[in-house]
Amino acid sequence: MIDIDILNAITIQAVPVLLAITVHEVAHGWVALKLGDHTARIQGRISMNPIRHIDPVGTVLLPILQLIFIQHIYFGYAKPVPVDPGNFKKPREHMAIVALAGPVSNLIMAVMWALLFSLAVHGLSGTWIGYPLSLMAQTGIVINLVLMLLNLIPLPPLDGGRVLMGVLQPALALKYARIEPYGIVILLLLIFSDVLAKVMLPIIRILAGILTKLVVV
């Protein structure tokens, strides 16, 4: 039998998590399209349908494991949107802009969830929807801030690594790109060694506090 706490967690957290990772990838594809690359559009990836972006590990297995062991989803990812830099007029610079679009979209969503949190706490307080909506909004704020900060780490293949390679001199960028095959391994080591948590959690708390204070009326 499914634990009722896990079922409640899935109900409250599924929407903000799916939105966070879907919009993140759609933002990459949409900006790439505006800069001249139609690859994502042709493959049907500029879509808000989460099914088009599901990654078996990052969208399914990882969130399920987090729910089972800690009953909260702090991290997930979707299937990367395909981008062909060869279609850009300025491949390096435009690739950096496309990469930056993902974290920026997460920041915008964090602000929107903060507004919804304010509505739930102040406008819908005492109603049947107020409390669960506030929990959903809190998840939305946290997951988007986590994705934003995580993707800004200057480590390829993360967005921050793509941005850095776009601003470095070509020779340096080429050398830096050699890290990419080991990027995910390095990231996982940072995550499981608790190094990232110690660095990111204080920043997330500060940013979440700022957002909620800014929107409270």
Does residue 46 sit in helix, strand or coil?
coil
Q: How many helices (H) and strands (E) would you count in the chain?
A: 9, 0
How far is Cα 79 from Cα 53, in angstroms, rounded to an integer?
5
How far is Cα 160 from Cα 96, in angstroms, rounded to an integer?
9
Contact 142, 114 (CB under 8 A): no
* 25 has catalytic annotation: yes
User: Counting beta carbons within 10 angstroms of the beta carbon of residue 115, is it exposed (0 to 12), middle (13 to 18) or buried (19 or more)?
Assistant: middle
Q: Which of 12, 18, 25, 33 is catalytic?
A: 25
Does residue 97 sit in helix, strand or coil?
helix
Q: Which residues are catalytic, by number?
A: 25
